[in-house]
Amino acid sequence: MNRLETSFAGLKLKNPLIVSSSGLTNSVDKNRQWEEAGAGAIVLKSLFEEQIMLEAARMQNSEYSEGNDYLQTYYRGHCLNEYMELLKGTKSVCTVPVIASINCYSDAEWTDFAHSLEEAGTDAIELNIMAIQSDLNYKYGSFEQRHIDILRKVKKGVKIPVIVKLGSHFTNCIPLIDQLYANGAAAVVLFNRMASPDIQINTKSYIGGEVLGHPSDLSEVIRWIGLTSARVPNLDLIASGGVWDGAALVKTILVGASAAEVCSTLYRHGADQVKAMLQFVETWMEENNYQSIGQFKGVMNAKQIKDGTAFERTQFFKYFSLKE
């Protein structure tokens, strides 16, 4: 048995390193190289609902309503067909699980497309539901309910596993995750990285902030996987954010993750980082007498460790005397 084998969402992986949805996975050639580098699974670059709808709207001409409908339908169809070609091409050259990714904010049109993805051979579908709630009249709980509604609608059209990738902007994501599990989510990914805005002060204009994540992002991932795996123990959790090296990958499994989606470190260090991270995990397992991922998965989550409040402290350092 390969000691690095793991599973999540009903999928068997040769190891817990998943290449995350990004520009790293937007072509068949790139995806073949990730499998050759040793990745356990690949999440295709997301198809963005918002981008499709905005581009379709730009094609509108107020004088030609029938033409507008045709152009919008054509553009949507073109985007979806391109994505199907990426999926089919990747499946033809890769043996590891290939997961389609839909970045959406409504439950408008995804049921039929999800079924098409299933027919094209995707092993699972990952729903990235990303938005910040800033409306003054926001009704508490409505954003959480939107996640459940989207999941339900997609689940009606497919039999393959549906994974939900959450953003980190929740006061308490555990009740939502429990409801996602109750409504058929095969796994939940914590967390999606949102775009970072910045300001150019000389021109007083908005610009994009730092694109890549940072190793410090891992702390919140560890916190919420450690808490969630203790309280929703039957649901597979995937770490995403701050997993920059093999040690970080080990940490996510210790708190209860089945695997981790990796992105920024691969942008920074290239495909060799996949092998380096997996070698670290395997060496660490040998040194600690673990024969499988399952033997140490979750042994440091909030249920297993003696002082589970370590995950919930908001002012941890007040308990320590700081020396000059």
What is the DSSP secondary structure assignment for residue 5, as one 8-state letter? -
Q: What is the pLDDT of residue 64?
A: 45
The more confidently predicted of residues 255 and 320 is 255
pLDDT at residue 68 is higher than 50: no
For residue 72, what are the β-bridge partners? none
Average pLDDT along the chain = 87
Cα–Cα distance between 258 and 9 in angstroms, integer? 9
Tell me the pLDDT band of 101, cut-offs 50, 70 and 90.
Answer: very high
Selection from 232, 231, 234, 237 nearest residue 253 by Cα: 237
Helix (H) or strand (E) holding 124: strand 124-129
Tell me the pLDDT band of 113, cut-offs 50, 70 and 90.
Answer: confident
pLDDT at residue 159 is higher than 90: yes
Selection from 267, 248, 278, 217 nearest residue 22 by Cα: 267
Q: Which residues of 78-102 are buried (b: 16+ CB within 10 A; e: fewer)?
A: ebbeebbebbeebbeebebbbbbbb
Q: What is the pLDDT of residue 74?
A: 45
How do 205-208 and 11-13 pair as beta strands? unpaired
Q: What is the pLDDT of residue 228?
A: 97
Cα–Cα distance between 116 and 114 in angstroms, integer? 5
Average pLDDT over residues 75-81: 71
Q: What is the pLDDT of residue 312?
A: 77
pLDDT in tens, 128-152: 987 777 788 888 899 899 999 999 9
Range list of H helices, the chain: 28-37, 49-58, 65-93, 110-120, 142-157, 174-182, 218-231, 246-254, 264-269, 272-287
Q: What is the pLDDT of residue 67?
A: 46
CA–CA distances in Å: residue 199 to residues 118, 132, 203, 212, 280? 42, 19, 9, 17, 39
Domain map (residue ranges) of the chain: 6-319
CATH topology for 6-319 is: TIM Barrel (3.20.20)
pLDDT in tens, 288-324: 999 999 999 999 999 987 766 778 776 655 555 555 4
Selection from 50, 45, 41 nearest residue 23 by Cα: 45
**Contact criterion met (CB below 8 Å) for 165 and 127:** yes
Selection from 191, 187, 248, 183 nearest residue 220 by Cα: 191
